Structures are given as structure tokens and as C-alpha cells.
Structure 1
Amino acid sequence: MSDPIRPYARFTVPPLSDDAMREFDTLPLDPYTGGSQRYRRFSQFRLWYEGDDWRTERLPHRPFIQSRQYNGVVGGVRREFEPIRFDPTPQVAAGARAAWLEQDRLYQINVHQVRVITSTDIKGIAVPEGPHRDGHDFVMNAIFSRHNITGGVSQLMPTGGGPCFFEDVLQPQEAIVMADDRMWHHATDILPAGPGPGHRDIMIVSFNAWERRRYGEEFERRLGALNHEPVPA
């Protein structure tokens, strides 16, 4: 990540516990993504470096909101998700190390646990908004399962589009973290590789310096004003 020409890193994340992996089977349906069929939980955390590693503290649960500037599909919508039911600190810490986050700063992070499914009747849309950036300092995508699928190719490209400078299939326990303000990212749709349904299980983590946090009543009020909509506290 310190290389200015390659502001991203591909790396290995610690495996999730068996109990955490089983949580993917229990994810509630995400009702906000239109034609795609995906399942999701979402939580937000405070992140800091202490002793010899990164630590997290879960923040009080709030809805997930993005600006329309970054998400033309559901930007401005208060999306209500159930919270994640395991501790993602080892995986988050691996992403923080790969991104070379400054150890003397406090960060706020969003963590999404997502399953995208596909079958002969269901199109496995990996990224409903298409190539995009999310307006964060860094974004990490970590893969934990690819079951009976093809596709799901991770792509990084110049802001505004253009030929990919990174394009590959991340395998389980692989992740990529990127400087979000310096590129667009995307993943191609998934298709079943054989009879029966398939799925791709991922964890998406966004990192923001605490002073630029995407969390809390003040952030939600500012975003509501930006979208010219009342956003309740």
C-alpha cells in the first residue's frame, strides 16, 4: 500500500471460525438491492492500535446510509440491517495492517457480512451499483467461500472507468484493500458452475479516520442535508 503507483494490496486474511462461517447460512435477505439476491448483516466499530495490534469496539447499532454521490441505486436510503453476530477483529486487523493505517490515529469502520447467490433462475449480481467508489479512506473485500460458481472477478480501474489495472478471482481467505479515493472497484457477476445453486461469501470493511467517520446522528443529518431530504435522528 505504500507504493504510490499501486495503491492497493492483495493479502491473506485469517480464516473465520466454524461458528462464524455458519452465520452466512443464517443471513437475512437484503431487501434494498432490487433484482439481485443477496443476504447481509452490518455493524460499525471503533478501531485503534494498542500494544502490538489493532483493536475494535462495537458501536451502538445504527442504519447504514450512503450518499447518492457514491451509490446511485440506494444512496440516501436508511438501510436497516441486523447486526453481525461474531467478532471480526482478526480479519479487520489484517486489513488495517495491509493498508498501513497510521497507528496513532483512531478510525471508524463499517463491516458488512454478505452472501450473493446464483442459480439457473437467479442472476448473481455481485455489485448492483456497477464500478464505483464508496467515499471512504480505504475499502477491503475479503472472500470466505466460493461454492459452485464461476465469475466474481475482482476488478480495480481508474476513477471514471477504463482498462482494469487489477483483475483476478480472489480465493477463500484472500482479500484486497484499496485506497478508495484513487480508483473505482467492481466484481463481475457470478454464475453456477454446475447443477444446483451457488454462492459467494464475503466481508466488506470500510475504513475512515474518526474525524471523517460515516457514523452517528451528526453524519446522518449532514447526509440528509446533502440529499435535500429530512433524515431523522
Structure 2
Amino acid sequence: MSISHNSLAPALFDAMQRGGFSFVTADVMQPLLQSAGELADWPAFAASWNRLGPDPYLAAKGRFRRRRHATFTASAHGGVELAAHQAHYQSLQYNALQGDIERWFEPIEPVIAGGDSLRTILAFCHAFFGSLAPSVSRWHVEVHQFRIEASADAAGEPTPEGSHRDGVDFVLVLLVDRHNIASGTTTIHAPDGKSLGDFTLTHPYDSALIHDPRVFHGVTPVMPLIPGEPAHRDVLVVTFRAKP
């Protein structure tokens, strides 16, 4: 389900309740974010993707991407607070490629973790996901910066684990930048594999919102439009998982 420029948050809420996902175009997402806070540092926020470190765990599998990671906590009646740096963990049930191991990544830079843009994105997610799950009192929140690079010799794999669930409650995938790439289409599937929708994040702020227990998601590989020139896809992924 896709939210058009004529739709506002209630339509987004309804789409998530009905289908378990929604694709949101930048002309809708940016104002929704601005209703939750400031985006004044967006240029610096986007430029921080140029300083991501390589993912050593994926490199060990013969693949390549760059990333940083941070963990936050949130409560129903409080704000979103940065937690101590910690490992990212998924079970093999949710990540057959890299499950059942603690993966430590370089932390998101403090100026970015505490900056306006990320704080605004987290405030929006907290309010919106909280409205979809009002009984949840505490959230475990993880934030991932991803850069997928592509070359003429090797396609970039945004989701090397294939169509998957993350083992959380809610997911936001927000495009920060794409340069000289083709494809990178986000796909949504039912648990039985039936296709439910697809959408290519093309402009900064284009987003996918996902109720993870209900649907699977993936992204098609990316290739450079002009071989030999730098090609990348930069996204921010935010996950919310209810804490017991």
C-alpha cells in the first residue's frame, strides 16, 4: 500500500493496520517528520554516510557493505534515550546468513546520534509505532546506517539474507541518498511468499514502514547506471521491539 501526497498520518495508520506495511513518498514523509521536530542538520546527517566503516561480518561471507549502529530505549510516557553501545543480535530464525552471533559495529557518531534529524526521526517513530501498539510501555530501539556500494563487476546487495523479517515489531526504512544506481526496489511478501507490493525508494525521505511480524521484506540488488563511477544506496533503518 502506498500513501500519496494527498494523504496524512491517519491514512498511514490505516494502511499499517490493514496490510502491515506502507510505502510513503518524500512529499508526505518529510512534513510528517517535521511535525515531530527539526531537520536542520540534514546535510550533515546525510554526509555522515561517507564515514561508515565496513561490515566485517558480511565481508567474511564474501559480500560488502558499510554501516554504523546505535541502540536507544523509549518508554510510552517518556522520550527516546541513547543507550550504551552494544552488539546487534538476530537469531538464525530471522537471519540465516548471520544469525546467532553478536555483531559489533562502529557506533553512530555522537554528533549524529544526538543531532536534530535522527532525534526527529526517532520521535516520529516513537509516536507512530506507539499509536499502533498502545499497550507497549517500553521499547528497545536500534538504528542502522547502511551504505550499499555497487560496481560494474559486482551488484550491491541491500538485503543479502533475501526476503526476511527482522525479529522486531516495527521497521522504518528511510532513503537518505542514492547515487548512480539502478533498481534497489523494496519488496513486501506474505509469509507464504505471495507478493504484496513493491516500491523503489528514489528520493531522500522516501520510506517503507513495516509491521515485521506480519510481512517479509527485501530489496533487489543495485547496479551502477554508469559503469566505473561511484555508485551507492544510503538508507537509515530504525527498528522498534517491545521490551518485556
Question: TM-score, normalization: structure 2?
Answer: 0.78
More helix by share: 2
Question: Which runs of 5 or more structure 2 residues have no equivalent in the other structure?
Answer: 1-12, 34-38
Decide whether the 8 Å contact of 1:68 with 1:76 is kept in 2.
yes
Post-superposition Cα deviations, 1:76-116, rounded to whole Å, max 9, x if no partner, equal: 12211111111322112223344334467221111101100
Matched, 1:92 2:119: no
1:32-111 equivalent positions in 2, closer than 5 A? 32-33=57-58, 34-50=61-77, 55-85=79-109, 86-87=112-113, 88-99=118-129, 100-102=131-133, 105-111=137-143
Q: 1:30 — aligned with what?
A: 55
Question: Which runs of 5 or more structure 1 residues have no equivalent in the other structure?
Answer: 212-233
Q: Which whole-Å CA distance do the structure 2 matches of 1:55 and 1:194 have between them? A: 44
Q: Which whole-Å CA distance do the structure 1 matches of 2:221 and 2:62 have between them? A: 12
Post-superposition Cα deviations, 1:155-205, rounded to whole Å, max 9, x if no partner, equal: 11101312x212010122111111101011001011101131210000111
Q: Which whole-Å CA distance do the structure 2 matches of 1:140 and 1:27 have between them? A: 20
Q: 1:114 — aligned with what?
A: 146
- Paired residue secondary structure (1:84): coil
- Residue 22 (structure 1) shift: 1.6
1:1-233 equivalent positions in 2, closer than 5 A? 1-3=13-15, 4-11=17-24, 12-13=29-30, 14=33, 17-33=42-58, 34-50=61-77, 55-85=79-109, 86-87=112-113, 88-99=118-129, 100-102=131-133, 105-162=137-194, 164-171=195-202, 172-195=204-227, 196-211=229-244
Q: How many residues align?
A: 207
Q: Which residue type is aligned with residue 144 of structure 1?
A: V
Q: Which residue type is aligned with residue 190 of structure 1?
A: V
Q: Give the percent of matched residue pairs that are identical in Structure 1 and Structure 2.
A: 30
Question: TM-score, normalization: structure 1?
Answer: 0.82
Q: Which whole-Å CA distance do the structure 2 matches of 1:161 and 1:210 have between them? A: 29
Q: 1:226 — aligned with what?
A: none
Q: Which residue type is aligned with residue 36 of structure 1?
A: R
Decide whether the 8 Å contact of 2:165 with 2:212 is kept in 1.
yes
